[in-house]
């Protein structure tokens, strides 16, 4: 590997590292989700270290993070002689699988069929002030709060929820309106896509634009870059619902970011676990 190449790789890492403080355990979750999510997939300790240390993370920090992930039931580790291998537990796999469709959606299906649930009156102070008598307005407020626990509902204000998909039946205490068209005002856009998320997205976009992988990049280097890209994208993708354009603030760059993420992942095709274990060491 020539020196220009090595500089390119380090510069790309630096761009992606600058974005925010990296939590090592969270990086490892992104890594397994991207490279070793299937049952039977396992990654050697050596390979894991070779993928992660270029991010400026020390082997000791990786060991601490793996310990935490084992304690939380995400990861199991096995020793064979001096080597160790790590793999997702059933729980870890199911947690990972649950968010994979949202992280890896190139063209997310944005909901177009909406309905509104409106309660008689917001109770002003949240559910804590319930009179306990189960009167009409309280029952409506409770029904609304229950709906808002479901992923397909967005809170519009204290007494209103916007949902997509099938209109529920049996919500007798709520005014239910099927929506055929809507216009999201700025305050709603700002609630769904808060400023710090908009900004994180713009920073990731700027970083991604600097990355043009050369042809002769190694499998481990691909894994490092993929992990960082997926990790940052995951923190954006999972923080906002997939919504049509009219819900986006004018400065929302999420969809451009998404396009660039998948363009880069295409140009950095996922290495097999065998290729990673056999990848020659970086000079």
Residue 243 makes contact with a second copy by CB under 8 A: no
Q: Which stretch binds a second copy (CB under 8 A): 36-44, 156-164, 234-242, 255-263?
A: 156-164
Residue 152 makes contact with a second copy by CB under 8 A: no
Q: Tell me the site size for a second copy, rule CB under 8 A.
A: 34
Q: Tell me whether residue 50 or residue 115 sits nearer to a second copy (CB atom).
A: 115
Residues in the chain: 283
Of 110, 44, 121, residue with least CA distance to 243: 110
Query: Rounded to an integer, what distance in angstroms lies between the CA atom of residue 245 and that of residue 242?
Result: 9
Q: Tell me whether residue 36 or residue 162 sits nearer to a second copy (CB atom).
A: 162
Give the x/- contact pattern for a second copy in 164-183, rule: CB under 8 A: --------xxxxxxxxxxxx
Query: Rounded to an integer, what distance in angstroms lies between the CA atom of residue 126 and that of residue 142?
Result: 10
Residue 97 makes contact with a second copy by CB under 8 A: no
Q: How far is the CB of 19 from a second copy (least distance, A)?
A: 30
Number of Cβ within a 10 Å radius of residue 276: 23
Q: Which stretch binds a second copy (CB under 8 A): 2-10, 75-83, 112-120, 206-214?
A: 112-120
Residue 148 makes contact with a second copy by CB under 8 A: no
Q: What is the largest CA-CA distance in the chain?
A: 75
Residue 238 makes contact with a second copy by CB under 8 A: no
Helices (H), 184-272: 186-192, 195-209, 219-237, 254-267
Residue 156 makes contact with a second copy by CB under 8 A: yes
Query: Rounded to an integer, what distance in angstroms lies between the CA atom of residue 23 and that of residue 121?
Result: 42
Q: How far is the CB of 124 from a second copy (least distance, A)?
A: 6
What does the block give as tokens for 224? 């490092």
Query: Rounded to an integer, what distance in angstroms lies between the CA atom of residue 155 and that of residue 8?
Result: 45
Could you list the residues that contact a second copy (CB under 8 A)?
114, 116, 118-122, 124, 136-137, 140, 156-160, 162, 172-188
């Amino acid at each position: 590997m020539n020196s220009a190449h090595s500089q390119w790789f380090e510069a790309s890492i630096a761009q992606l590292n600058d974005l925010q403080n990296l939590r090592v355990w969270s990086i490892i979750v992104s890594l397994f989700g991207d490279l070793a999510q299937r049952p039977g997939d396992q990654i050697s300790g050596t390979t894991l270290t070779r993928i992660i240390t270029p991010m400026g993370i020390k082997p000791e920090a990786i060991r601490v993070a793996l310990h935490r992930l084992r304690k939380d039931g995400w990861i199991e580790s096995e020793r064979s002689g001096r080597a160790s291998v790590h793999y997702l537990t059933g729980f870890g796999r199911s947690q990972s699988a649950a968010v994979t469709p949202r992280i890896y959606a190139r063209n997310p299906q944005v909901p177009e069929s909406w309905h509104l649930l409106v309660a008689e009156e917001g109770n002003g102070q949240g559910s804590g002030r319930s009179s306990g008598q189960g009167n009409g307005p309280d029952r409506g407020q409770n029904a609304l709060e229950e709906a808002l626990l479901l992923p397909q509902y967005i809170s519009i204000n204290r007494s209103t929820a916007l949902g997509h998909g099938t209109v529920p039946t049996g919500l007798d205490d709520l005014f239910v309106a099927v929506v055929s068209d809507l216009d999201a005002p700025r305050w709603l856009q700002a609630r769904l896509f808060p400023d710090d998320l908009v900004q994180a997205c713009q920073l990731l976009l700027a970083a991604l634009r600097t990355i043009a992988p050369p042809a002769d990049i190694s499998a481990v280097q691909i894994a490092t870059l993929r992990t960082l890209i997926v990790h940052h994208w995951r923190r954006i993708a999972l923080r906002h619902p997939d919504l049509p354009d009219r819900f986006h603030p004018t400065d929302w760059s999420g969809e451009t970011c998404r396009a660039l993420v998948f363009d880069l992942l295409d140009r950095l095709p996922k290495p097999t676990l065998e290729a990673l274990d056999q990848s020659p060491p970086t000079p």
